[in-house]
Amino acid sequence: MPGPRVTSERMRAPTAERVRSIALAWVLLATFAGCASHATDRGATHVAPDGDAAALATLDAVVDLVEREFVDPERLDDAWRAAVQRARDAFARGPVTPDEAADRVNEALATLGLSHTVFLTPDDPAFADLAEVYGVAARPGLAAQFPDGRASRDDVGLLGQVVDGGFLVRFVLDGSPAERAGLHAGDLVTHADGATVGPVSSFAGRAGTPVLLDVLRGPSRERTVFEVVPEHVVPSEACLRALRASERVEVRDGVRVGYVHVWSYAGLSNQQAVVDALEHGALADAEALVLDLRDGWGGADPAYLRAFGGRPPRLEFTGRDGAVTSIGDDADDAPAHSGDVLAGRPLVVLVDGRSRSGKEVLASGVRSQQLGTLVGERTAGAVAGGRGFVVPGGLLVLAVLEARVDGERLEGVGVPPDVEVARPLDGTGVDPQRERALALAAAAVHARRDD
């Protein structure tokens, strides 16, 4: 049977002005804030009577986009072609579930070896976040997920991953329904209202309605039941509320240490909230700052380093055609890029293996310019420039630019911490990385007092 056609516009080659806007929008998993779907016609797709035409339509659209837009055509090698063929053969043989189809497509994309290259279905927790960031929620292809044209979801505020036996919690958003219910990092959520838990499906359509979560907690995995009440949220607004809810001053060794967790750096409002807290808000009387960049999403403008006494790095972007565009450190300030608001107060930055994209650029600047101390684990090494595309069955994020930061390639490398501290998800609720960061911040204040 003939395969469906996906219509849209082609991506134009980035101009210097456009690349500048990309850098300033270094959002989430990508540095492009825009999105386009793609026009293509592969001709007839031959499917067995019991084959899966929908999965093949997704694969065809993804392959066309990769072959036309992916930043490094040399990576489209035998491994890529073999993985695509395996997926095509599987889809032609018979029906597959959406999750199985996504796994096959992502198996092929993984052979390309760059970040910002992934296919997401509506059942992926990141789907709504990326649909909002790329501005695609109002596109016809996503009308079923976002009828009002705005990316949103019913959610309880858990960050984690699906593992054997359930959903393993990495973090709980500050002020979220999950935090209010008493869940914490390391909990293994096994069931929601008696059914196998799904990070999206278990809460969809349940805003305002209590949901009972079966949780295995602690080294002994003792079973506990928690009642949570999902909220209908816009992802960016939920992250900003969680940032503000995380702001606090804690006393360590007689020192007032400020703490804030930036769950997402997509959008100026997040940095402005940090600046406001330091200048005249909850953190104004702090003697040092712990800036938590772990997990969540990137999106930081490199110019945010000015607020911490640094300079924006020099960024170099290389496109598919090999052309290089450089952006210097002399960009004009935006309101949230105010001057040094730390005013000499010591800075400790928390990072981990899920600190990505723009957060890694900030971490690299803090380390190279000696603005503070990095604590935790090496960052993700996910600093390619991506773009979002609506395709049948979901959303494709695709690397379309490679980036260097002050001449250094961070993609696939990441930023190492100055002080390495592991964070086992053992269900005890203890956060050794955060505790070490607070102690180091207090020690830095004492060291300055002694000078």
Give me the CATH number covering residue 357: 3.90.226.10
Rounded to whole angstroms, the Cα distance separating 244 from 237 reads 11
3 within a domain of the structure (yes/no): no
Q: Are residues 162 and 73 in the same domain?
A: no
**Domain-embedded: residue 9:** no
For the full predicted model, state whether its pTM sits above 0.85.
yes
Q: Which of 233, 259, 291 is the last residue of a domain?
A: 233
Q: What is the pLDDT of residue 338?
A: 60
227, 250: one domain = no
With CA atoms as reference, report the closest residue to 372 among 381, 363, 380: 363
pLDDT tens digit sequence for 179-216: 999 999 999 999 999 999 999 999 999 999 999 999 99
| Neighbouring-strand partners of residue 376 | 351, 420
Alpha carbon distance, N-terminus to C-terminus of the chain? 78
In terms of domains, do 22 and 112 share one?
yes
Residues 164 and 106 in one domain: no
Segments of the chain scoring below 70 in pLDDT: 1-51, 328-338
Asked whether residue 252 is domain-assigned, the answer is: yes
Angle subtended at Cα 20 by Cα 18 and Cα 24, rounded to the nearest 5 degrees: 115
Q: Is residue 10 part of a domain?
A: no
Q: Are residues 424 and 342 in the same domain?
A: yes
Which domain, by its residues, includes 212?
155-233
Clarify whether residues 183 and 87 are in a common domain: no
CA angle 354, 394, 60 (to 5 degrees): 110
Distances (CA, A) of 100 to 59, 94, 106: 12, 12, 10
pLDDT of residue 310: 94
Give the DSSP H/E element, type plus range, for residue 398: strand 394-405
pLDDT at 450: 77
Are both 214 and 350 inside the same structural domain?
no
Report how far residue 374's alpha carbon sits from residue 371's, in angstroms, rounded to the nearest whole number.
Answer: 10
Is residue 218 located within the same domain as residue 332? no
pLDDT score at 50: 54
Among candidate residues 101, 117, 32, 2, the one with its CA nearest the CA of residue 66: 117
Q: What is the pLDDT, as a whole number, of residue 309?
A: 94
pLDDT of residue 66: 98
> For 141-209, where are the alpha helices, taking DSSP H only?
177-181
Alpha-carbon gap, residue 272 to 267, rounded angstroms: 9
**How do strand 231-233 and strand 324-327 relate by DSSP bridges?**
unpaired
Does any domain span residue 376? yes
Distance CA 128, CA 133 (A): 9
Domain of 178: which CATH number? Answer: 2.30.42.10
pLDDT of residue 284: 97
Amino acid identity for residue 30 in this structure = A
What is the pLDDT at residue 5? 28
- Assigned domain for 391 exists: no
| Average pLDDT score over the chain | 87
In a shared domain, residues 167 and 301: no
Whole-Å CA distances, 315 to 268, 318, 365, 407: 19, 10, 12, 8
d(CA 152, CA 52): 29
Question: What is the pLDDT, as a whole number, of residue 35?
Answer: 30
C-alpha to C-alpha distances, 22 to 31, 114, 179, 385, 403, nearest whole angstrom: 5, 18, 34, 8, 11
Asked if residue 11 belongs to a domain, the reply is: no
From 233, 264, 280, give the residue that closes a domain. 233
Whether 440 maps to a domain, the answer reads yes
Pair (104, 174) in one structural domain: no
* Structure confidence by residue, pLDDT tens digits, 271-302: 999 999 999 999 999 999 999 999 999 888 88
- Pick from 3, 100, 109, 15: nearest CA to 46: 3
Rounded CA separation 292/203 (Å): 28
281 and 409 share one domain? yes
Domain stops at, among 233, 256, 287: 233
91 and 43 in a single domain? The answer is yes
Provide the number of structural domains found in the chain: 3
